[in-house]
C-alpha cells in the first residue's frame, strides 16, 4: 500500500528540491573517466548467474570493541566472497553498532550510497536504531574508502565495468552477511540502504533464498535512469564513454547495461510484505516512477513517499528513514 499518492516520473525542474538542484549543478563529470573498461564484463550472463550458488556466512575477524556513550562500536574484517574484485579491494570492512546489553529486535546491514566512504554519515543517520534494539552493521563499499582500487582517486569509479563489479560484490557481501547474522542467532534480519545502497539492498533481498526485511530508501527498480537522465547523470563522464560514438549512443548503451540488473529481471523477495520502499516526491536524482515500479513488481510491499528531495531527506527525514527499517524488521516472519 502507498502512504500517499505521488506523481509519476522524475521530479521536474520546477518540482525538484532546491538542495538537489544546487548539488547537481556543482558536480563534476568524474565517474567512468577511463571509459567502459573490461568489455567482457559488460555483456554476458544474467545477474543471478554471477552470484555464488550457495550463500555462505562471512567469517568476520573482530577488533576490540569501543564504548561510545550508551553504544558499543566494533570494527570487523572479512575476505570478500566475490572473486571478481582486485586483490587490493578484496578485504572487506564492516562496523557493528549496538546498545549495551538489552533486548534485541534484530539486525540490519546498511549499504553505502554513491560515493559514501567510511561510516560517518550512515552512523549519524542510523546509529539511533541501536537504542531501539536493532544491531546496526555498516559495510564499507568495495572501491570506496580503505577499499579503493590502485590508482583510483577518491570515490570516483573509473570504468563502467568497475561499477558493475562493485555492485555485484556489494550484493554478494550483503547476502553473506545475512547468512552470518542468521548463524549468529538473529531471528530477524534486514538489508537497507539509501540511494545506490537502496538499489543494492533491493537486489540482495531478491536474490536470497530466505526471507529478510528490506528498506529500499530513495531507490527504485533500476539504476539506468539515475545514471543517464537524472541529476546524477551529470557526474558521468560521457565524453570518455563516447570516444568512438555519439553521446546519445553512449547514454543508450549505458542505460541498457545498467537496466539488465533491474529488480524487474528478478522475482520478488521471498517475503515482499516485509519490504518498505521509501521515495522522495521532489527527488532530482532517483525518479519517483522507479520506486513505484519496484512497489508494483513487489506485490505486497509498502511504498511511502516523503515530501522531500534526495539530498534534503538525509538531513530532515531521519526518523522516517529509521522507522522504515524498524518496520521492515518487525514484519519478518519467524
**What is the 3 state secondary structure string of 74-112?**
EEEEEECCCCCCCHHHCEEEEEEEEECCCCCCEEEEEEC
pLDDT in tens, 82-98: 999 999 999 999 999 99
CA angle 32, 34, 39 (to 5 degrees): 85
pLDDT in tens, 248-289: 999 999 999 999 889 999 999 999 999 999 999 999 999 999
pLDDT in tens, 156-186: 999 999 999 999 999 999 999 999 999 999 9
Kindly report which listed range (10-14, 187-191, 202-206, 312-316) carries the lowest average pLDDT score.
10-14
Q: Is 204 a residue whose pLDDT tops 80?
A: yes
pLDDT mean over 119-130:
97
Residue 6's pLDDT band, with cuts at 50, 70 and 90, is very low
pLDDT of residue 3: 42
- For residue 109, what are the β-bridge partners? 137, 191
Q: Which residues contact 267 (CB under 8 A, 6 or more apart)?
A: 206
Residue 103's pLDDT band, with cuts at 50, 70 and 90, is confident
Q: Which of 187, 198, 190 is nearest to 222 (CA)?
A: 198
pLDDT of residue 28: 77
pLDDT of residue 11: 52
Q: What is the pTM for the complete model shown? A: 0.93
Contact (Cβ atoms closer than 8 angstroms) between residue 226 and residue 232: yes
pLDDT in tens, 34-62: 999 999 888 876 667 788 888 999 999 99
Q: What are the φ and ψ backbone dihedral angles of 6, each rounded to 5 degrees?
A: -120, 175
CA angle 312, 317, 321 (to 5 degrees): 120
The domains of the chain, with CATH numbers, are 18-330 (3.40.50.1820)
Q: Which of 177, 206, 168 is nearest to 83 (CA)?
A: 168
Q: Is 226 a residue whose pLDDT tops 90?
A: yes
Amino acid at each position: 500500500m502507498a502512504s500517499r499518492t505521488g506523481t509519476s516520473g522524475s521530479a521536474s525542474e520546477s518540482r525538484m528540491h532546491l538542495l538537489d538542484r544546487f548539488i547537481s549543478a556543482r558536480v563534476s563529470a568524474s565517474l567512468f573517466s577511463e571509459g567502459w573498461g573490461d568489455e567482457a564484463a559488460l555483456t554476458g550472463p544474467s545477474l543471478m548467474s554471477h552470484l555464488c550458488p550457495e550463500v555462505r556466512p562471512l567469517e568476520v575477524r573482530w577488533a576490540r570493541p569501543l564504548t561510545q556513550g550508551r553504544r558499543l562500536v566494533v570494527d570487523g574484517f572479512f575476505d570478500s566472497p566475490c572473486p571478481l574484485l582486485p586483490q587490493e579491494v578484496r578485504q572487506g570492512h564492516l562496523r557493528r553498532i549496538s546498545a549495551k546489553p538489552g533486548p534485541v529486535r534484530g539486525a540490519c546491514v546498511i549499504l553505502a550510497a554513491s560515493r559514501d566512504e567510511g561510516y560517518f554519515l550512515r552512523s549519524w543517520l542510523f546509529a539511533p536504531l541501536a537504542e531501539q534494539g536493532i544491531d546496526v552493521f555498516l559495510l564499507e563499499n568495495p572501491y570506496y574508502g580503505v577499499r579503493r582500487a590502485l590508482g583510483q582517486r577518491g570515490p570516483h569509479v573509473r570504468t563502467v565495468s568497475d561499477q558493475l563489479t562493485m555492485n555485484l560484490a556489494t550484493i554478494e557481501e550483503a547476502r553473506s552477511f545475512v547468512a552470518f547474522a542468521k548463524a549468529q542467532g538473529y531471528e530477524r534480519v534486514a538489508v537497507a540502504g539509501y540511494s545506490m545502497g537502496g538499489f543494492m539492498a533491493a537486489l540482495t533481498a531478491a536474490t536470497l533464498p530466505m526471507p529478510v526485511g528490506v528498506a529500499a530508501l530513495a531507490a527504485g527498480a533500476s539504476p539506468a535512469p539515475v545514471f543517464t537522465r537524472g541529476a546524477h547523470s551529470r557526474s558521468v563522464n560521457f565524453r570518455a564513454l563516447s570516444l568512438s560514438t555519439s553521446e546519445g549512443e553512449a547514454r543508450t548503451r549505458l542505460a541498457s547495461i545498467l537496466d539488465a540488473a533491474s529488480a524487474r529481471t528478478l522475482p520478488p523477495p521471498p517475503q515482499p510484505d516485509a519490504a518498505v520502499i521509501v521515495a522522495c516526491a521532489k527527488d532530482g536524482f532517483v525518479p519517483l516512477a522507479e520506486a513505484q515500479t519496484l512497489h508494483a513488481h513487489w506485490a505486497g510491499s509498502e511504498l511511502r513517499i516523503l515530501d522531500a528531495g534526495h539530498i534534503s531527506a538525509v538531513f530532515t527525514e531521519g526518523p522516517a528513514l529509521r522507522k522504515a527499517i524498524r518496520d521492515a524488521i518487525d514484519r519478518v516472519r519467524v
